[in-house]
């Protein structure tokens, strides 16, 4: 009994099928983390203004910075993913997301805004990597 082989690489499909699920799981968790980054800012604005001792108008800058960082980070990191490889940039993007989220625990509005920008910049690249993985993995 011979295993079915992939037309492109000649590798057995069973090996490829077993190896793709950890990748799918990692991409699913990455997608969940990146979408949570955007959805957590708006509901927590009142607590930001209380905890940081700033007005609601000042705290609303966090939403602007979150969206702006995502919009600017998408083309830049996507181009870098094309140049240096998607796996490397996925690891860098997840690292930036975690580092920015941890740094957002600081007690100064300017530092929290900067940390949110760092955490939210890789969002667009994560979405692109997940779409490409969906196409390549044929999920």
Q: What is the pLDDT along the chain (139 residues), one digit of tens a residue?
A: 444 444 555 555 566 566 677 777 877 787 787 777 777 888 888 888 888 888 888 888 888 888 888 888 888 887 887 888 877 887 888 888 888 888 887 778 888 888 888 888 887 677 666 666 655 655 5
Task: Confirm whether 36 is domain-assigned.
Answer: yes
The contacts of residue 69 (CB under 8 Å, 6+ apart) are 116, 117, 118, 119, 120, 121, 123
Number of domains in the chain: 1
The CA R_g of the chain, rounded to the nearest whole Å, is 19
Task: Confirm whether 5 is domain-assigned.
Answer: no
Task: Confirm whether 4 is domain-assigned.
Answer: no
Task: Confirm whether 85 is domain-assigned.
Answer: yes
Per-residue model confidence (pLDDT) at position 17: 64
Per-residue model confidence (pLDDT) at position 3: 47
DSSP lists the bridge partners of residue 81 as none
Task: Confirm whether 127 is domain-assigned.
Answer: yes
Task: Confirm whether 34 is domain-assigned.
Answer: yes
How many alpha carbons fall within 13 Å on the CB side of residue 70? 18
Domain that holds residue 26: 13-137
Tokens of 104: 């957002």
Per-residue model confidence (pLDDT) at position 90: 78
Per-residue model confidence (pLDDT) at position 133: 61
Q: Is 32 exposed, middle or buried (0-12, 13-18, 19+ CB in 10 A)?
A: exposed
């Amino acid at each position: 009994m011979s295993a079915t082989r992939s037309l492109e690489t000649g590798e057995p499909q069973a090996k490829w099928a077993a190896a793709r699920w950890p990748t799918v799981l990692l991409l699913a968790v990455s997608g969940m983390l990146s979408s949570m980054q955007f959805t957590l800012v708006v509901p927590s604005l009142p607590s930001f203004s209380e905890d940081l001792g700033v007005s609601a108008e000042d705290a609303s800058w966090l939403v602007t910075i979150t969206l702006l960082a995502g919009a600017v980070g998408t083309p830049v990191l996507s181009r870098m993913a094309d140049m240096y490889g998607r796996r490397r940039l996925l690891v860098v993007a997840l690292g930036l997301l975690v580092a920015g989220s941890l740094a957002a625990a600081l007690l100064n509005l300017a530092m929290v805004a900067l940390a949110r920008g760092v955490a939210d910049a890789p969002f667009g690249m994560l979405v692109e990597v997940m779409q490409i993985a969906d196409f390549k993995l044929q999920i």
